[in-house]
């Protein structure tokens, strides 16, 4: 591999900017610009001078040895003054050096994957960490980035290898007069793996909602104060409000954080029968989005019932509480703190079941592995004659689980993942 470089911090003015160099020539770059190479992992102040003698900047320089860096290669980092001119000057000098080239999006992380510093699940978690907007998203990303999913798959791998070994030992000695029945031991190993995979699949929906965010729909009849409440929660005029029934025609979305969770609030059209074709479309969309939402907040006029059938967990509140003195009001803020507490409690209950897997790719790999493990268990009931087929089913399951963390057959996934990374990552 060649030596690559890129700005690793955000573009634009900053107090400090970081330029990263990775590859076999990284330390040579430091020697050419700074005169001497600091001891690995020891930050040292150096004057950076271009090969033509131009003084570039005074910088803090760090180097990392091969096998002890993020990419697994020799790495150098220049922490320079964060002006646009200084950054551009250093990048220009690096670009003129023989053997160096500008990094592609995600190339540093891709090298970390290829050098087995990260597995594929950790790469995905790093992308999630970069995109994290809330505390729960940060925690979930760090949990997987720490290698938790890889460790889980490692345990499954050991159990599967042991099961295959037992079966193949029995097959090898099938002609010997040694009547050993290993089916019970193999089944116990497969049962343990299947049980944990099923647990992960059950928790996938919750983990996915943490990663992508929850949807909370505000529903009710026209003029129930839905848009006013949305504006109060958003802290801005996100929706048009008026006394004219049917003002809201389409679903209005506002992204916010509630209890460390990413939540999209949906202001929906007032639910009623209407002769207006556009309003009817809006009401249909309101019903559709409310049905698909993770949680619904029903704003109901005093003495009336919700217009949509309630789902367990739904929140029902009296609309325009400023007039009745109870319920919730987006005009005065009455009941809003209590509403936020209820939303947080409902969504936190969902999050408690979150597992480690949160992507469709994960679900497919786990589902395929589980299917073949269950098929292998069925074959065990048919006796020694089909142990070789059962062993092959277990091997197929093994390969499916290996794909989960990127050990086999994932090349088609990589370009899509790394395209979401910035150049310096």
Q: Has 228 been labeled as part of a binding site?
A: yes
User: Does the structure show a pLDDT above 50 at 175?
Assistant: yes
Q: Has 9 been labeled as part of a binding site?
A: no
Is the pLDDT higher at 315 or at 234? 315
Residue spans of the domains in the chain: they are: 3-114, 126-203+357-406, 217-351
- CATH number listed for the domain at residues 126-203+357-406: 1.20.120.430
User: Does the structure show a pLDDT above 80 at 10?
Assistant: yes
Q: Has 200 been labeled as part of a binding site?
A: no
Q: Has 125 been labeled as part of a binding site?
A: no
Q: Model pTM?
A: 0.75
Confidence of residue 245 (pLDDT cuts 50, 70, 90): very low
Do the beta carbons of residue 305 and residue 283 sit within 8 Å? no
Contacts 24+ apart (CB under 8 A), 344-350: 344/258, 344/259, 344/261, 346/295, 346/313, 346/315, 347/214, 347/216, 347/258, 347/259, 347/261, 347/263, 347/294, 347/295, 348/259, 348/261, 349/313, 350/206, 350/209, 350/214, 350/294
Q: Averaged over 219-239, what is the pLDDT?
A: 79
Q: Has 170 been labeled as part of a binding site?
A: no
Confidence of residue 250 (pLDDT cuts 50, 70, 90): low
pLDDT of residue 322: 80
Cα distances (Å, whole numbers) of residue 313 to 30, 337, 342: 60, 18, 10
Q: Quick: pLDDT tens for 196-206.
A: 999 999 999 88
What ranges make up the beta strands (E) of 8-99? 16-22, 44-49, 55-64, 75-81
Q: Has 11 been labeled as part of a binding site?
A: no
C-alpha dihedral sign at 82, 85, 91, 93: negative
Please check whether the two domains, 126-203+357-406 and 217-351, share a CATH topology: no
For domain 3-114, is the CATH number 3.30.1360.120? yes
Q: Has 227 been labeled as part of a binding site?
A: yes
pLDDT of residue 248: 47
Q: Has 348 been labeled as part of a binding site?
A: no
DSSP string, 174-226: TTSS-----HHHHHHHHHHHHHHHHHHHHTHHHHHHHHH-EEEEEE-STTSSH
Q: Has 127 been labeled as part of a binding site?
A: no
| Gyration radius of the chain's alpha carbons | 29
Q: Has 92 been labeled as part of a binding site?
A: no
Q: Has 257 been labeled as part of a binding site?
A: no
Q: Quick: pLDDT tens for 349-408.
A: 888 878 888 888 899 999 999 999 999 999 988 777 778 888 899 999 999 998 888 765
User: What is the longest distance spanned by two Cα atoms in the chain?
Assistant: 90
The CATH T-level fold of domain 217-351 is Rossmann fold (3.40.50)
């Amino acid at each position: 591999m060649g030596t690559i470089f890129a700005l690793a911090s955000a573009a634009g003015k900053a107090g400090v900017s970081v330029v990263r160099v990775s590859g076999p020539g990284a330390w040579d770059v430091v020697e050419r610009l700074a005169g001497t190479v600091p001891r690995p992992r020891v930050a040292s102040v150096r004057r950076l001078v271009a090969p033509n003698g131009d003084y570039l900047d005074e910088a803090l320089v760090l180097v990392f040895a091969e096998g002890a860096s993020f990419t697994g290669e020799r790495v150098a980092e220049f922490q320079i003054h964060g002006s646009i001119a200084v950054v551009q000057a250093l990048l220009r000098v690096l670009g003129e050096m023989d053997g160096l080239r500008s990094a592609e999006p995600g190339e540093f992380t891709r090298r970390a994957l290829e050098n087995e510093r990260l597995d594929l699940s950790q790469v995905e978690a790093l992308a999630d960490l970069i995109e994290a907007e809330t505390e729960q998203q940060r925690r979930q990303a760090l949990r997987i980035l720490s290698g938790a999913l890889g460790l889980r798959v490692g345990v499954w791998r050991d159990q599967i290898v042991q099961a295959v070994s037992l079966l193949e030992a029995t097959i090898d000695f099938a002609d010997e007069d040694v009547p050993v029945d290993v089916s019970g031991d193999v089944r116990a190993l497969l049962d343990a793996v299947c049980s944990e995979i099923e647990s992960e699949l059950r928790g996938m929906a919750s983990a996915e909602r943490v990663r992508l965010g929850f949807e909370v729909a505000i529903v009710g009849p026209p003029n129930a104060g839905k848009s006013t409440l949305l504006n109060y929660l958003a802290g801005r005029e996100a929706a048009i409000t008026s006394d004219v029934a049917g003002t809201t025609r389409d679903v209005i979305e506002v992204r916010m954080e509630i209890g460390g969770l990413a939540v999209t609030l949906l202001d929906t059209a007032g639910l009623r029968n209407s002769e207006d074709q556009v309003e009817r479309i809006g009401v249909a969309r309101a019903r559709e989005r409310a049905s698909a939402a993770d949680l619904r907040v029903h704003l109901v006029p005093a003495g009336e019932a919700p217009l949509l059938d309630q789902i367990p967990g739904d929140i029902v509140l009296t609309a325009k509480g400023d007039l009745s003195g109870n319920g919730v009001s987006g005009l005065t803020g009455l009941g809003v703190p209590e509403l936020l507490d209820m939303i947080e409690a409902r969504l936190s209950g969902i999050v408690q079941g979150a597992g480690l897997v949160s992507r469709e790719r994960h679900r497919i790999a786990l589902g395929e592995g589980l299917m073949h493990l269950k098929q292998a268990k069925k074959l065990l009931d048919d006796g020694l004659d089909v142990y070789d087929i059962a062993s092959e089913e277990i091997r197929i399951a093994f390969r499916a689980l290996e794909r989960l963390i990127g050990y086999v057959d994932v090349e088609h996934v990589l370009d899509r993942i790394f395209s979401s990374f910035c150049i310096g990552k």
